[in-house]
Amino acid sequence: MRTRRLRDRASSARRGTVAVLVAFSMIVLLGILALVLDGGLLLIERRHAQAAADSAALAASLAFQDEGGDLSAARSAALSYAAANGFPEGDGNTLTLNAPPASGRFAGDDSHLEVILTSRSPRYFSAIWGADALTVSARAVARGGPESSASLILLDPNRSGALALMGQGKIVTDAGIQVNSIHPTAVTASNTGHTRAATAGKPGVPVIKVAGNYATSSGGYFSGQVKTGSPPVADPLANLPVPPQAGHVYNGLPFPQWGTRTMHPGVYQGGVTLGGGMRITMEPGTYYMRNGGFTVANGVRITGHEVMIYVDPNGGRFSFQGGGQIDLTPPTSGPFEGITLYQDRNSTQDISIANGSTTTISGTIYAAGARVSFAGGAQFNQFGTRFIAKSMEISNNAFVGVGGDDSPGNASVKLVE
């Protein structure tokens, strides 16, 4: 009997101990469950905040570009988009705009903007662990600023005279110049050579941007703001595809001298040489110069609308010489919309425009690997978009006018962090 009583007491003690352990475990489990539930809610809030920060950074970058580098306009746009995404300033929400970014891969790069969005989220289930609010933070960096609409972009990273003006050569742009060379004399102006760059309606924007520095001598000068030490920009057409070798294959050119001819899209084996006062009309489409270039000389007049001329990297180049007159416009749709002249980016053949050639080309001229030279009274007018090359030299009274469209509709911004 006594033994049974002892067993009953031991069993009761064990049951009491288990009850205490179960009660304690339930508290711990409920606490963990509260943290898990609030953690899930916090993760949703974090994603919500990141979406708001992304849209705010893009809006700020667009406003910064559109308003000529006005940070107050950029901040207003960022606040507006953050509020539209559920994060109005105040009520525990703060938005910080840094131009340039204060951290990350693009710290100090003034072609980027950084938005940091911080929000305080109340505790729900995890209030058993404390009453203080939880902090949610999201960060986004967008690239795109006033320089992204530059109408002349020179990509050589270290050349002296990447942009060289001499002998009264001059260049006038409407939407800025970007020179990527870090050389101390990346841009040179001598013998009254000069540039004039301006972004219409945006006098506060530095419109001649140079990664390195510049030098003048013998009356050379710059009109417009110059910003040295500017970060290089990426080739905006680095992903432009090579056109297919499609259509009829034409052989046996150059064309006969003199007379009037019509050219048709297709593949031109050995390229094209036009001379002797010919009158050429180019039908709309893509002209692929295979194993040769596109040369116009000796008074040729050439007209083409909605054309794109491509020169492959096998020895060809663009050359406009000897009083020729050229009037070209680019395609208005398709993969080469807005591109008029395209010398393969792997081609290092110089592009030459000289001896009184008068050229009016609407659209982008793209020759990322080429040095471009203007000389001897050459006149070049490019309206609407850009001229992208490796380097450029202008001399002997050559006048180069590069028109650009820096309207908001052509702004180019993107998230990078």
Pairing between β-strand 249-250 and β-strand 266-269 as defined by DSSP bridges:
parallel
Closest to 322 (Cα-Cα) out of 363, 365, 276: 276
pLDDT in tens, 328-342: 999 998 889 999 999
Q: What's the confidence (pLDDT) of residue 224?
A: 73
pLDDT in tens, 214-223: 998 888 888 7
The structure's pTM equals: 0.65
CB within 8 A of 410, min separation 6: which ones?
149, 385
C-alpha R_g of the chain: 32
DSSP per-residue letters across 327-342 = EE---SSSTTTTEEEE
pLDDT of 325 higher than 70? yes
Which has more confidence, 282 or 83?
Answer: 282
Q: In degrees, to the nearest 5, what angle opens at C-alpha 167 toward C-alphas 162 and 169?
A: 65
- Rounded average pLDDT over 141-163: 80
pLDDT tens figures, 240-299: 999 999 889 998 665 666 678 899 999 999 999 888 778 899 999 999 999 999 988 877
Cα–Cα distance between 263 and 239 in angstroms, integer? 28
Tell me which range, 33-37, 95-99, 203-207, is most confidently predicted by mean pLDDT.
95-99
Cβ atoms 209, 69 nearer than 8 A: no
Mean pLDDT of 205-231: 82
> Helix or strand or coil: residue 380?
strand
Nearest to 284 by CA among 309, 304, 262, 311: 304
Look at 100-104, 122-126, 168-172, 216-220 and tell me which has the smallest mean pLDDT.
Answer: 122-126
pLDDT of 309 above 50: yes
Highest mean pLDDT among 46-55, 300-309, 405-414: 300-309
Question: Minimal CA–CA distance to 151: which of 392, 324, 318, 376?
Answer: 392
At 310 the pLDDT is 97
CA distances from 112 to 74, 97, 116, 149, 235 (A): 12, 11, 13, 14, 16
- Band (pLDDT 50/70/90 cuts) for residue 169 is confident
How is 209-272 classified by DSSP, letter by letter?
EESS-EEEETT-EEES-EEESPPP---TTTTPPPPP--S-EE-SPSPPSSSEEEE-SEEEET-E
- Predicted pLDDT of residue 409: 35
- Candidates 359, 374, 378; CA nearest to 309 is 359
d(CA 289, CA 219): 41
| The pLDDT of residue 222 | 82
Residue 346 has pLDDT above 60, yes or no: yes
Compute the average pLDDT of residues 24-44: 53
User: What percentage of the chain carries pLDDT values higher than 70?
Assistant: 72
Q: Does position 40 have pLDDT exceeding 70, yes or no?
A: no
Task: Report whether pLDDT(170) > 50.
Answer: yes
pLDDT tier for residue 11 given thresholds of 50, 70 and 90: low
Q: If you average pLDDT over residues 128-139, what whole number do you get?
A: 65
Contact criterion met (CB below 8 Å) for 301 and 280: yes
Mean pLDDT computed over 177-187: 93
CA of residue 75 relative to chain centroid, distance: 21
Cα gap 54→215, rounded to integer Å: 41
pLDDT at 195: 74
Q: How far apart are CA 209 and CA 118, in angstroms?
A: 34
The predicted structure's pLDDT at residue 75: 87
What is the Cα–Cα distance from 395 to 218, expressed in whole angstroms?
A: 14
pLDDT of residue 235 exceeding 60: yes
Q: Which residue has the higher pLDDT, 106 or 156?
A: 156
Query: Which band of pLDDT confidence, cut at 50, 70 and 90, is reported for residue 2?
Result: low
Q: Give the C-alpha distances (Å, rounded to integers) separating 389 from 282, 330, 365, 369.
A: 25, 18, 8, 6
What's the pLDDT at 55?
A: 82
pLDDT at 361: 84
- pLDDT surpasses 60 at 3: no
User: In whole numbers, what is the pLDDT of the chain averaged over residues?
Assistant: 78
Return the pLDDT at 105.
80
Q: What is the pLDDT of residues 355-396, one digit of tens each?
A: 666 678 888 999 999 999 988 766 655 544 688 999 999 887
pLDDT of residue 166: 87
pLDDT at position 225 over 80: no
Give the position of tokens 């606490």. 31
Residue 263 confidence (pLDDT): 92
Exposure string of 235-271, with b = 16+ CB inside 10 Å and e = fewer, is bbbeebeebeeeeeebeebebeeeeeeebebbbbbbb
